[in-house]
Structure 1
Amino acid sequence: MFISEAVIAVIIDWIDNNLHKPLRIEQIARYSGYSKWYLQRLFLQYRGESLGRYIRNKKLDSAARDLRETDENIYSIGLRYGYDSQQTFTRLFTRHFHLPPGEYRKKNKTACYVPDKAESKSPFR
C-alpha cells in the first residue's frame, strides 16, 4: 500500500466518523496535510469519485438509514447531516434516491416484528 493510499483510507474513516459535523474540503485537506487540490486529485484517483460527492453520498445514505430506522422528523435528520433547510435536504435526497424523504420512509421503514396471539402461545408454558 502506498502512503497516499493509506492517507485516503484514514481520511475516509475520519469522514465516516464525522458525518454529523460540517465537513469542508479545506478542513479535510488540513487534516491530511495535503493541499486542497492535490487531495481532491488523489481522492479521485483512488476512489473513482470526487471527495465532495463521496461526502454528500455518505451523508444522504446515513440520512436514509435514519429515515428507515427512526421516527425522528425529516427536518431534524436533515439538520444532523448539515443541511440548512428541509427544502435543500429534500431536493438533494430526491435527486439521489428518486423519492422525497417522506415517501422513502413510508416505502422503506424497517418494520418491527410483533407476533400475533396465535404465534405468541408457546406449547412449553
Structure 2
Amino acid sequence: GKNILAIAGQESSEVELWDIENSRKIMCLPQRCSANMTGRLTKKKGLCMAVQAFIPCESGGYVNILSSYEDGSTLWWDVRKPGSPLSSVKYHLESALSIAIDGLCTGGISGGADNKVAMFALDHQQDSSV
C-alpha cells in the first residue's frame, strides 16, 4: 500500500528504496548491515545504471527489484531477502543502461552500451539477446 521509489543508491553499487509519502529511505540493497561477501561482490559490478521495481504475482504483493550495472550484469532482488540477490545474470558485455519489465511481470528488456538489446523471462529459462 505504500508508494515506493527505487533509485540508484548513494554508494555506487547500491539500490535504495524510498517511501515517497514520508520522504524516507526504507532500505538499501544489498543490506548494509550484512557485511558479508555480497556487498563486496556488488561493488565489483560498478555503478548501478538502471533500476526497475515490480510486483510479480507469486511474490504475495512484495516488491522485487531489477538493477543493472556498469559491468553489464543485472541483479534480481526480493525485498524480503535484502542481503543477497535472487539471481545475477550478465546480459551485456558493456554497461547495462536501461531495463524495463512488461506489464504482467513475466519478462523484460534491457539495453546496453554494447548496442545490444536483451529480452528475458523472469523465470530465467528463456533469455535471449538481439
| TM-score interval, normalised by the smaller of the two chains | under 0.3
Higher share of residues assigned strand? 2
TM-score by length of 2: 0.23
TM-score by length of 1: 0.23
